[in-house]
């Protein structure tokens, strides 16, 4: 009898652990998955995501709360660089657990500030309300060891097919680097358009990598050694010159 119990324990515990692990990640979308859909109120009215922006790239930002210093700096930075994202065919959506009235008042206040000595900025992207935490849970923005009621600073880059292509998470006390988010967006768009890879510390216009080849013979079929647009460090690292 004791032997039977021990055998059952060794079988049940791992299965229970695997089930629990799977359950704990439910609602946490991953790279390559569809972006969770939602309908919510925002400073631009009722918003249905991602259907309202299906032909665009989209970046979904989450914030822990309105009227907080780090969040405010990030919203103002986004407003200052909005034209960059417009040129990249990308729409910005910001989500917070606060209600729409708070969002409206916060937006009005921010539009009076002289950020970095500039004239007051217009915030043209919507601030979405998520008081019931539906969006926050669907996107895995609630991290219990950080807060059970406030979002961490999440960033989701979503392509026109509504697939999640990149995810960033930041703690509540650290502001995001908008230049890095924009760089990642451009890298994804470049990779899709040119069927290339981007190396470490790549910047727009820089040299790119061609897809990995399993052998030198295979690599030579892809790229001619006499082609001036290509060069290599070794057979598994072949570059294409950028357009700087």
Q: What are the catalytic residues? A: 71
φ, ψ dihedrals at 13, nearest 5°: -60, -50
- Residue (of 207, 218, 213, 220) closest to 236 by Cα position: 213
Look at strands 230-234 and 237-240 and give their pairing.
antiparallel
Q: What is the CA radius of gyration of the chain?
A: 23
| Helix (H), strand (E) counts: the chain | 7, 10
DSSP 171-219: -TTS---HHHHHHHHHHHHHHHHHT-B--TT--TTS-EEPPP-SSHHHH
Alpha helices in 60-161 (DSSP H): 69-80, 82-87, 100-110, 134-138
């Amino acid at each position: 009898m004791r032997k039977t119990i021990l055998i059952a324990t060794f079988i049940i515990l791992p299965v229970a652990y695997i089930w629990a692990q799977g359950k704990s990640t439910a609602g946490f979308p991953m790279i390559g998955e569809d972006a969770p859909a939602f309908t919510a109120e925002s400073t631009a009215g009722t918003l249905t995501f991602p259907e309202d922006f299906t032909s665009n790239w989209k970046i979904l930002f989450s914030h822990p709360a309105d009227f907080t210093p780090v969040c405010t700096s990030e919203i103002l930075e986004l407003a200052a660089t909005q034209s960059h994202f417009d040129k990249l065919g990308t729409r910005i959506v910001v989500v917070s657990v606060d209600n729409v009235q708070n969002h409206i008042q916060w937006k009005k206040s921010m539009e009076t500030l002289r950020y970095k000595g500039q004239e007051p900025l217009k915030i043209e992207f919507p601030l979405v309300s998520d008081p019931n935490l539906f969006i926050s849970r669907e996107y895995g923005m609630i991290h219990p060891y950080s807060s059970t009621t406030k979002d961490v600073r999440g960033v989701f880059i979503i392509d026109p097919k509504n697939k999640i292509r990149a995810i960033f998470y930041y703690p509540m006390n650290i502001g995001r680097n908008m230049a890095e988010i924009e760089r990642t967006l451009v890298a994804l768009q470049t990779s899709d358009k040119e069927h290339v890879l981007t190396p470490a510390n790549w910047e727009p216009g820089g040299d790119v990598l061609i897809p990995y080849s399993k052998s030198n013979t295979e690599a030579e079929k892809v790229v001619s050694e006499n082609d001036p647009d290509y060069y290599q460090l070794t057979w598994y690292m072949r570059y294409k010159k950028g357009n700087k």
